[in-house]
Amino acid sequence: MTAIAFIGTGVMGKSIVLHLLKANHDVTIYTRTKEKAQSLIEAGATWAASPKEAALGKEIIFSMVGYPQDVEEVLLGEQGALQSAKAGTVIIDMTTSEPTLAKKIYQQALAQGVHALDAPVSGGDIGAQNGTLSIMVGGDEAVFHQVQRLLEVFGENIVYQGEAGAGQHTKMCNQIVIASGMIGVSEAMAYGLAAGLSMDHVLQSITTGAAGSWGLSNLAPRMIEGDYAPGFYIKHIVKDMGIALRESAQMGITLPGLTLANDMYEKLVAEGYGEEGTQALVRYYK
């Protein structure tokens, strides 16, 4: 049994906590709204009033929150986890965040004898529920191997990417594919419907061919049903695209496909759809 703090129990974090509890780990949770975590408390998690309180005496501290500023607050702020983390503790931030912030957390943690990994995930709500998340990890390789078995409780494809920040850079590659690829999925739906096709039949043919992708298999059916519930919020993919565009500008590269996807998603946010899932991009074509 490992003493774990888990900060942030949203769409994906909630499922991850349940996997950790089922594996008989001792999990203390913190989230801004206690009521939203009530089912986890009933499942055996312990509630803490702050990240600092949650982290006290723990061996592993997970964080999975919304935005880079949230990561900085819950880990480095006055009531942040690093304020009470003991030497030898491992912080694992699974938020999709900025590579530069991952490096900052790594350095500040190291100064206190604490280890830090940036370990963003991919797989959405389905991957979190099924315990099949892809996890991309940056930080010290020895620390990665130390926690790898724990990550296997809720992850399936777990890859060490390199030094601090490398996990976040890898996640940016992932988000670029998702954001730009969703344009193709949405346009296929729009085209098929305009042609009078049965989109269920279309998907039977194209999901197993060269066009096959996770988004096509898992999100296109939701598009057909008009199900825009978030596995991953539009507001969060917009945040991620902003990070990727800023990082690419600093590296001197241009990403026109990502720029187009960003413009389309920002239009949906302006129209009030930021709380919906990324599959709601199909709205753009209606």
Active site members: 171
Distances from the Cα of 30 to the Cα of 10, 42, 163, angstroms: 11, 14, 28
Helix (H, G, I), strand (E, B) or coil at 93: strand
In eight-state DSSP terms, residue 134 is E
DSSP per residue, 208-257:
TSTT--HHHHHTHHHHHHT----SSBHHHHHHHHHHHHHHHHHHT---HH
DSSP per residue, 265-286:
HHHHHHTT-TTSBGGGGGGGG-
* Nearest-angstrom CA–CA distance, 76 and 61: 13
Paired strand residues for 7: 30, 63
Cβ-in-10-Å burial (0-12, 13-18, 19+) of 140 comes to middle
Retrieve residue 46's tokens: 């312990």
- Find tokens 């390199």 and name the residue: 162
∠ CA(272), CA(168), CA(82), 5° rounding? 95
* Nearest-angstrom CA–CA distance, 187 and 281: 10
